[in-house]
Structure 1
Amino acid sequence: MTQLSAAPVQTNIPATDLVTVSRAVADLRRGEIVLVQGQVNGAVHCVAVIAAEPLSDHGLSRLGDIAGPDANPAIILPRVRAKSLGQACKDDLFIAFVSAEKSGVTAQSLAEIANPLLDLEAMPSGVPAGIWRPINMAENAAIRLAKLARLLPAVVTAPVTPEQLETLARGQNLLVLQSESINGYENASAATLRPVSEARVPLENAENAKVIAFRPDDGGQEHLAIVIDEPAKDQPVLIRLHSECFTGDLIGSLRCDCGPQLRGAIAEIAKSGKGGIILYLRQEGRGIGLVNKLRAYALQDRGFDTLDANEELGFDADERVYRPAAEMLRQLGFGKVRLLTNNPEKLSGLESWGVTVSERVPHKFPSNGHNAFYLQTKKDRAGHLF
């Protein structure tokens, strides 16, 4: 196996916290409850959290039992979703809709509120207008946790006191998470990436290739380095950062240019005669996951462009992080790169983690009749350099 450097990992988030966040992601996807605590300017906020997408009446009832009879559950929604429901929103990113169980709120009605694919012009019947307010740090971190779980970024919360946390954690077997651990999880987890397997994999246009798999200490997403030929470490290496795309890479979707970009990068690196690396990052759909990417496609069929569709779902237009790529390059022994890309954010993303980008190498492919609007949007709104 290739000898990789093993400099000490630099992260401010303890390894135990990374594992706790990883476990909480799995709990949230199963419709379980977790506890989140956040603090800012001396104010401490604690909430019991359950994801809106897999919400059941049993889960909603249990949330009410945990919080007590005087606590009102709140569904935390992205601002764009609240606006689509006819709610006047200010500049706050997220808004909380508060109501009491006696108002007839059901798990189904809350899940419907969270889903932008449902054609709701106003609040579903039986759900009161509620109180709209900015969310606190714990609630904001809960939304981030839903994003990490690749669920719709909407959660149902109930306030608890700091004194209740330990009692609930022990008595109800619930995980307790700090907001800073959730918000810093992706970058901190990337700092722990380590090679776990390597194999020679001859490719159609690059027979001298090998694939190295990297896995973080918390057991999260694995990323791949496809190393073609034997690139020199004393000069900038030709690389491509490629976010996985099941539809484009594997089944030949014409809605994007991902498949041609991946295969074109392999061919370009092999043709250079100097070797290079493709970093295959597990960040489907600009980091929102395959299920949500398909939801974004459905919204695009209703007239949204690729960026607005992500935001309508409650995500940022681009949720990707680039520390995994920088960490893999560091361990492979490369600090300077020539980057195959049209996306200036990839340059700044790599450079922010200490990688020197000596040259941007254009990586353009013609449209196919199905992705012309997609490519134009990337140029006009995302600043891609076509």
Structure 2
Amino acid sequence: MSNNDKNELELRRLRAVDRAIADLRRGLSVIVTGEKEASIVLATEMAFDPELKTLAERSGAEPVLALTAHRANVLHIQPTGDDAIRLVIEEWMDAPLMRALADATHDLDQPFRGPFTRIKEGLPPTIPAAIKIAKLGRLLPSVVAASIELDQVEAISRKHDLSVVSLEDILAYEDSAALQLRAVASAKVPLQAAENTTFHAFRPKDGGIEHMAIVVGDPNRREPLLARLHSECFTGDLIGSLKCDCGEQLRGALKAISEEGGGVLLYLAQEGRGIGLINKLRAYNLQQQGFDTIDANERLGFDADERVFRPAAEMLKLLGFQKIRLMTNNPEKVEGLERHGIAITERVSHKFPSNTHNELYLATKKKRSGHYL
């Protein structure tokens, strides 16, 4: 296969995932295929009774509710050893209840739920893949799924105009999108902290999520440069939220890089440690109930940190930076970049005083995530 053919195949695979993400966010069903089986899935967050009825009719099977092991644990459902748990949808479980089961912010509204019947038999690989694609769409990590035979996929997808995406493509999506990043625009943008600054926008060739590189000055590509990976934070960066230290880290990093004489800040589209803005607000709601930042994410069904660092590594390579002095308190950023071919010659401490609103947040990052604070 030629390089052009390989590239076109990769783009088709990315587009298949992108279309499935868009359909799930619109409340539509999609088909996820595996090596030996397939599932029609619907994002639980977007599930209403008519859609559930349609799902059962199209598949000819009884749908199940799938949750992550984190979320199932919160609901006191016994583990199965798998990353996802399937529940039988009982007669008393309507769509509003299932949406509430997926959303931890409703736990105090409906504290007594169950008992639930979990399915213990072997978990079809398409189920955790379907949950993964819900995460990629910044939806709650839960789906309603119904099994179909592989030889039914083409007929069902054609008849009902359903997107089809493979398990393999879903699992490879984040790496594939990172490897397809390219610079699509750049412009000089003088900042308060650094006037000699150029913004470079990066986008995958399939038109997916965009990231930004902010290059200060004209750094020497032959020497390790001062760099910062910064995940976007609408509440902290733009509005000035006191619940985190993100805004201080952003502006402080730009100031430090300017004083150094040059460097780069990567502004990554990974809001809320990769769970998205709406889910971050849900996590904030849980923090108001007394849960720390890690418990809040896990109660919603997410991992403590859903970010990936390959996009940052690929952006640095495209800019010509292979060695950096990384401004971070997070050891996972160091490990993540080194795993993808970026040499970290020094970890530069980057911390700011706490306030009464974020002191628990910072203490949790230090105690439970191993941050150097």
Q: Indicate the TM-score class for this superposition, using the shorter chain for normalisation.
A: over 0.9
- SS of alignment partner, residue 161 of structure 2: coil
- Which whole-Å CA distance do the structure 1 matches of 2:294 and 2:57 have between them? 39
CA 144–364 in structure 1, closer or farther in 2 if over 3 Å, else same: same
Distance in 2 between residues matched to 1:369 and 1:129, nearest whole Å: 40
User: Hey, what does 1:19 align to over in structure 2?
Assistant: 15
1:74 to 64, 73, 80: 64
CA contact under 8 A between 2:69 and 2:79: conserved in structure 1? Answer: yes
Give the corresponding residue for 2:124. Answer: 136
Partner residue, 1:49? 41
Q: Which residue of 1 aligns with 2:225?
A: 237
Q: Which amino acid aligns with 1:17?
A: R
- Which amino acid in the other structure matches residue 96 of structure 1? R
Map 1:1-386 to 2 at 5 A.
14-39=10-35, 44-68=36-60, 71-99=61-89, 103-118=91-106, 119=108, 120-123=110-113, 129-133=116-120, 135-273=123-261, 275-386=262-373
Q: What SS does structure 2 have at the residue aligned with 1:53?
A: helix
Q: How far 1:369 moved relative to its partner? A: 1.6
For residues 260 and 172 of structure 2, what CA distance do their matches in structure 1 show?
Answer: 38
How far did 1:90 drift?
3.7
Secondary structure of the structure 1 residue equivalent to 2:105:
coil
Aligned mates of 2:334, 2:47 — CA distance in 1: 40
Counterpart CA distance in 2 for 1:159 and 1:97 is 14
Q: What residue identity is the alignment partner of 1:146?
A: A
3-state secondary structure, aligned to 1:159: strand
Change (3 A) 1:164 1:194: same
Contact 1:85 1:122 in 2 (8 A): no
Cα–Cα, structure 1 residues 379 and 129, in superposed 2: closer, same or farther, change >3 Å?
closer
**Contact 2:85–2:118 (CA under 8 A) maintained in structure 1:** no
Q: Aligned pair in 2 of structure 1 residues 11, 283: CA closer, same or farther (>3 Å)?
A: farther
What SS class does the counterpart of residue 166 from structure 1 fall into?
A: helix
Contact 1:342/1:362 (8 A) holds in 2? yes
Structure 1 CA distance, aligned partners of 2:218 and 2:363?
A: 36
1:304 Cα shift?
Answer: 1.0
Q: Secondary structure at the match of 1:350?
A: helix
- Count of residues in Structure 1 that have an aligned counterpart in Structure 2: 368
SS in 1 for 2:308: coil
The alpha-carbon deviation at position 92 of structure 1 amounts to 2.4
> Does the Cα contact within 8 Å between 1:300 and 1:306 map onto a contact in 2?
yes
- What residue in structure 2 maps to residue 3 of structure 1? none
Deviation at 1:9, TM superposition (A): 12
- Whole-Å Cα distance in 2 between the matches of residues 285 and 339 of structure 1? 21
Unpaired runs of 5+ in structure 1?
Answer: 1-6
Write the letter of the residue equivalent to 2:292.
Answer: D
Q: Check the 8 A contact 1:9/1:191 in 2, yes or no.
A: no
SS of residue matched to 1:132? coil
Contact 1:11 1:188 in 2 (8 A): no
Contact 2:83–2:128 (8 Å) recurs in 1: no
User: Identity over aligned residues, as a percent?
Assistant: 51
- Contact 1:86–1:121 (8 Å) recurs in 2: no
Distance verdict in 2 for CA 1:10–1:234, change over 3 Å? farther
In the TM superposition, what is the alpha-carbon distance from 1:305 to its structure 2 partner? 0.8
Cα RMSD over matched residues? 1.9
Task: Mark the CA change 1:12 to 1:360 in structure 2 (over 3 Å): closer, same or farther.
Answer: farther
Alpha-carbon deviations, 1:300-358, whole Å to 9, x = none?
Answer: 11111111111111111000011111111111111000100010100011011100011
CA deviation profile, 1:84-124 (whole Å, cap 9, x unmatched): 32322243221100236xx2542222212211111233436
2: distance between equivalents of 1:288 and 1:326? 20
- Secondary structure of 2:146 counterpart: strand
- Answer whether contact 1:31 1:55 (CA < 8 A) is retained: yes
Q: State which drifts further: 255-264 or 111-120.
A: 111-120
Mark the runs of 5 or more structure 2 residues left unpaired by the alignment: none
Whole-Å Cα distance in 2 between the matches of residues 143 and 266 of structure 1? Answer: 37
SS at match of 1:88: coil
User: Contact conserved, 1:85 with 1:121, CA < 8 A, in 2?
Assistant: no
Q: CA deviation at 1:80?
A: 2.8
1:89 and 1:204 mapped to 2: Cα distance?
52
| 8 A contact 1:144–1:182 mirrored in 2 | yes
Aligned partners of 2:69 and 2:83 also within 8 Å:
yes
Distance 1:246 1:191, change over 3 A: same
More helix by share: 2
